[in-house]
Structures are given as C-alpha cells and as structure tokens.
Structure 1
Amino acid sequence: MNTGIWWRYSLFALIATGVNLLTQWGVFSLTPSRISLAASIMAGTLTGLLIKYWLDKRYIFGFVTQNYRHDVRLFLIYTLMGLFTTVIFWGTELLFHSLLSGDGWRYLGGALGLALGYYCKYRLDKRFVFVE
C-alpha cells in the first residue's frame, strides 16, 4: 500500500469508526438494556459499513461500477468480505465489555477491533472485491 493510499485509508477508517461508535452511542443511549447493546453494535456496524464502502470504492480503489446491479453485487461481495473482519471487531469489543467495567472500555475494544479488522479488510478488498 503506497503512502497516499495508506493515509486516505487510515482517515476513512477513522471516519467510519467514528460513525460506527457515534451510532452505537446514540442507539445505546436511547434504551440502555441488554437488547440495546446488540442493537447498538449492529446499527454501528451497518452505518460504518455503508460509509466505508462508498469511501473505499471511490477514493481508495477508484472503482466505477457499470450500473446499479453491478454496484449492489459489489456491495454484497464487500459485505461478505467484511463478515470475517466483523467477527474480529465484535469479538474484541465484547471481550473488553466482559472483562472490563464501563462503557469506555467497550468503546476502546470496539475501536481496536475495528482498526485490526480494517487492516485485514483492505487486503481482502484489494484481492477479491475491487478487481476488474
């Protein structure tokens, strides 16, 4: 990964992480309960995924889809590649949540899990998603 792409990718990962964690915080703040923990993680994952897909496709890989159908297909492949990295993210966040008390630790676990997941995601996307 060249330096320019590395900086952009890192910035976009931070943006998507921020969107993810802010969404989680918002959802969890509305109804703090056991169910809202899962709902907040899923909502954060979805919003982070959508923003990251758009940024990666356009500014990292410079990929132009042929039509709406192609874009949907590409998004589905992108999402499938993200399932593996989501396990890393959720696992790290839930590990921090179960071992350490306080929401701050959970969010730190989420941020660390996302960072590791995004590194793996770039490698998968470059090889399997954004190819001609």
Structure 2
Amino acid sequence: MNCRYCNETCIRKGKQNHIQIYQCKNCLKYQRISYKYQSKLIEDWQIVQLTKEGCGIRSISRILNIAGSTVIRRILKISNALKRPFTILYGQTYQVDELLFTYIGNKNSRVCIAYSLNPITGEIIDLVVGRRNKRI
C-alpha cells in the first residue's frame, strides 16, 4: 500500500476494530485502505472550493456526502488556520463585508465570517470568524 500523503510505501501497524492499519515509513502517518465514514477522504480544498462557489453548509454536506456539523467544524478549522496577509495602516479607509452566517448547534450560537479590504488596491486586509457584535 502507498501513502496517500507522500506516496511512499506503508507497513502494517496493528488493527483497530478488526480493520488493518498501516503506517507510512516516510511521514509516519497512520491510514487504512478503506474508511466507513467518508469525511476522512474529503480534503480541505474541496470544502474551500464549494464555499467559493456559493454553496451553503447543507449543500456542501449533500454534495460531499458528509454531515453538516462536520462541514461547519472543518470550515472553522480552515478559517482559524488563515493568517493576516497585511498589516492594518492607520489613516486608510477600509471596507467591511460579511460573507456567511451559520449556526452551530442551535439558533443561539450564530457564527459570522467577515472580511475587510482596501477598496483602492483590492487587497484583503483581515478575516474574522466569530460572533457579530461591535468588537468584530
């Protein structure tokens, strides 16, 4: 079996729930030949691409055949990994837009994704994920 991350050979490394587990010799990551739940096979770029196309949480979960809570958790993980590309300069004018509103768990826990950009250069200055309040 070849590793799906680095394409090196894998060795057997025990069993979990009667399914053989393999470990890559190069990157030392564990993997299986087949998974029962398909979210392990979905890459982050697929969720990002569907979000760019304007798909919502339910449509992404329907297209990729994974749970909606998994989609929300992966979107939050992706957004927390983003770094601020530019420094905020004082004396400049910035424009703030909201991209997405979604709910986690129930209607009381609403999450907003907003970004700010410089309208003159078109550069995205900052991206914020969290509650919509005056601090955002």
TM over 0.5: no
TM-score, normalised by the number of residues in structure 1? 0.26
Determine which structure has the larger strand proportion and give its number: 2
Larger Rg: 2
TM-score, normalised by the number of residues in structure 2? 0.25
- Structure with more relative contact order (C-alpha pairs < 8 Å, separation 6 or more): 1
